[in-house]
Amino acid sequence: MAYDEGLVQILRDDLIDVPGISEKKMFGGICFMLDGHMLCGVHARGCMFRIGKPRESLARAIEGAGPMMFTGRPLGGMIDVTEDSFVDDDRRIQWLEMSLTNARELPAK
């Protein structure tokens, strides 16, 4: 299945002024990386953010977020979001800020 290029462009626009951003094909979609650490992405079934375990409950409390499932199990520190919630600027920016915070806390690669 193909991912939505329009959703990818939204993330490109959000991250245009952030130094150290790159894109990588993963999980059947596109992931955005900050200095080699996964931030967020778009896949065939929607969008995801790597917010880190300390922010997981806060991120999931925002309407439209749920667990990121991979091979039938939830991935800790990651959320999956609906397209409707993703295109809502306020919600998406909250999750994106959490993802940027998480990546900046990780050891350098």
pLDDT in tens, 9-56: 999 999 999 999 999 998 789 999 999 999 999 998 889 999 999 999
* Residue 4 to residue 59: CA distance in whole angstroms: 23
Asked if residues 32 and 22 have their Cβ atoms less than 8 Å apart, the reply is yes
pTM: 0.93
- Separation CA 53–CA 8 (nearest Å): 24
Work out whether strand 37-43 and strand 46-50 pair parallel, antiparallel, or are unpaired.
Answer: antiparallel
> In this structure, what are the phi and psi dihedrals at residue 31, rounded to the nearest 5 degrees?
-110, 145
Question: How many domains are contained in the chain?
Answer: 1
Determine the Cα angle at 57 with ends 56 and 63, to 5°: 100
The range of the structural domain enclosing residue 12 comes to 5-105
Q: What is the pLDDT of residues 88-103, one digit of tens each?
A: 999 999 999 999 999 9
